[in-house]
Amino acid sequence: MAYTEVEGTRHPLRMWADPHTVEQQAMQQLRNVANLPWVHGVAVMPDVHHGKGATVGSVIAMREAVSPAAVGVDIGCGMSAVKTTYKISQLPDNLAYLRSKLEQAVPVGFGHHKRPVDPTKIHGMKGSGWAEFWKGFDDLAPAVHARRDRAEVQLGTLGGGNHFLEVCADGDDFVWIVLHSGSRNIGKELAEHHIGIARKLSHNQGLVDRDLAVFLGGTPEMDAYRRDLYWAQDYARRNRALMMGLICDVLRRHLPNIAFEQTISCHHNYVAEERYDGVDVLVTRKGAIRAGGGELGIIPGSMATGTYIVKGLGNGAAFNSASHGAGRKMSRTKAKKTFTVKDLEEQTFGVECRKDAGVIDEIPGAYKNIEDVMAAQTDLVEVVAHLRQLISIKG
């Protein structure tokens, strides 16, 4: 699909979604962003939907400015995936048992480890700069210093909502592990702290939406935000790496002679320094992944509709980006009112997962059709593998 350029905005607004089918609230948010004075351009992904300040599924390039709401409150949220040497035929018949062992190793929802996980005890985690990473906590905003103990025991945990841990299989029946998680509570608190500061700055007082408040380059507020932001992005990356280490250790204990390929990892709520049209910009991807030429990425559907491993095509018009998933088509509240446990059982048939009222808001029917989303971005990514779920763990 070629993009549609929306007319009547101050800066380019390119959409890989049909503007006529995007909810009105989301379209207004996109126009609001594209009219900000600091914006270089906006690329809209096919999974776009309404969010706080900025839509989920938007890529915003700014000159010497960044809006915390255009990053998202779950800083560094993203995906990891690893292919194993196992095939489906080698898995045990009782996937419920394997699921229970994975849930014991990786706390979900509001759960956390009883004590901080020692990375040096996890296969492949030793010597990854952990001491330096935690030393950086002391430089974060004083408002979160009391949260260190919590941040330590939450490292290596999944969280709730749309975060998940899955065992999948590709078209050749090879087994994969797929993770979706972020920076847990510490990332959320840092984001909310800085959004609060940005809203009070004088240059943000006349904005049509105060949630789009920005920090400007060369100011102490911007420096403080970027310091905390990059630390939280690293926390999210390490959180997924630690979980993947715990998961792989479980599989080594229960699946003889299993081995793992190189892990694929990508953020989809983050900031990066990039250059387009000869201009240095700060690119925020909120519900979008980087898809530079040849770069591997991960685009999940929902609990039972599979995940795509993709390779970026390096489309500069989209700021080298692609969607982060299927995207919601209804709110969690509406999903709970619309669907029943029976609907959940039917829509997740054949997948070993929770089938109770606690996860109805994550039912596949609450999400856009992942096939439609992929069809809308054939000029952004090419498909490497389509994974189907065997086990899906949610909080």
Q: How far apart are alpha carbons 201 and 29 in whole angstroms?
A: 21
For residue 249, which of 181, 150, 177, 309 has the smallest C-alpha distance? 177
Q: How far apart are alpha carbons 364 and 366 in whole angstroms?
A: 5
The answer to whether 365 and 133 are in contact (CB under 8 A) is: no
| Exposure on the CB side of residue 100, measured as CA atoms within 13 A | 4
For residue 323, which of 290, 350, 357 has the smallest C-alpha distance? 290
DSSP structure class, residue 236: H
For residue 387, which of 240, 177, 98 has the smallest C-alpha distance? 177
**Four-CA torsion 45, 46, 51, 54, nearest 10 degrees:** 30
Residue tagged active-site, from 49, 180, 324, 386: 324
**Four-CA torsion 305, 332, 233, 299, nearest 10 degrees:** 20
How remote is the C-alpha of 366 from its chain's centroid?
18
203 is catalytic: no
CA distances in angstroms from 197 to 60, 100, 220, 224, listed in the order given: 21, 43, 11, 11
Residue 105, H or E segment? helix 95-105
Q: How far apart are alpha carbons 220 and 226 in whole angstroms?
A: 10
CA distances in angstroms from 249 to 121, 160, 196, 254, listed in the order given: 10, 23, 41, 9
Active site residues: 324
